[in-house]
Amino acid sequence: MSKGETAKLLLLLALSQRPDLFVLDEPTDGLDPVVRRDVLTAVLDYVSEVSARVFISSHLVHELERICDWVGIMDNGKLIAELPMQQFKNRIKWLRIDHAPEESVLAPFTVLNRGRTNGIGSMETWIVRGWEAPMSDYFTGVGATVRDVIDLDPEEGFVELLRSSRPTHYDRS
């Protein structure tokens, strides 16, 4: 049997046990797009049918965004973030800030990373978690201006969360 056929068979065997909790480790690793979709559809159908919980460990963030309600991000055995998928997808942003404050004390969001923008005077870039549009008022209150708010796709958000949890931070400048 091919790798895809083997994956489908193993999934069907596991589902035939009708578990309440289903744990999958890289369930679509190395599968072609058709088989990958079949495997994920089978899991979603099963969850809908029996209200089971599924725990998926995967580095394929774009797949997870289509099927997961919650995301937990681990790095080196440590849980660094746990949040609903909608927040993960919509509330990690890249900001361009003019006259940014030295410290982000009392900010209503979490600063994952910040750095100077080369050649643009007092401009900085910040990667933030937990962003909502009204939070621009925070910057106005500290004498700064938000020039741009750019959405990060889930994979970029994943990378930035990992980078911010490690001792050496990535600097976009």
pTM, entire model = 0.72
* Domain presence at residue 146: yes
CATH code of residue 112: 3.30.70
Cβ partners under 8 Å of residue 101, min gap 6: 142, 143, 144
∠ Cα 123 97 83 (to 5°): 135
> Are 63 and 96 found together in one domain?
no
In a domain, 173, yes or no: no
| Residue at 83 is within a domain | no
- Note the pLDDT of residue 121: 66
The domain tally of the chain equals 2
Which pLDDT score is estimated for 170? 47
Q: What is the pLDDT of residue 165?
A: 85
Domain of residue 103, residue span: 89-165
Do the Cβ atoms of 112 and 159 come closer than 8 Å? no
pLDDT averaged over 10-residue windows placed end to end, the chain, 173 residues: 85 89 88 87 90 90 86 90 89 93 89 77 88 94 94 89 76 47
Closest C-alpha to 10, from 54, 59, 43: 43
Please give the torsion angle defined by the CA atoms of residues 45, 46, 51 and 55, in that order, rounded to the nearest 10 degrees.
-110
Cross-strand bridge partners of residue 146: 97
The kind and range of the H/E element at 71 are: strand 70-75
Predicted confidence at residue 59, as pLDDT, reads: 85
In a domain, 81, yes or no: no
Residues 64 and 99 reside in one and the same domain: no
Domain CATH code at residue 9: 3.40.50.300
Assess if residue 33 is contained within a domain: yes
Last residue of a domain, one of 16, 34, 68: 68
* Same domain, yes or no: 98 and 160: yes
Residue 95 pairs with which residues in a beta bridge? 126, 149
Is the domain of 111 the same as that of 43?
no
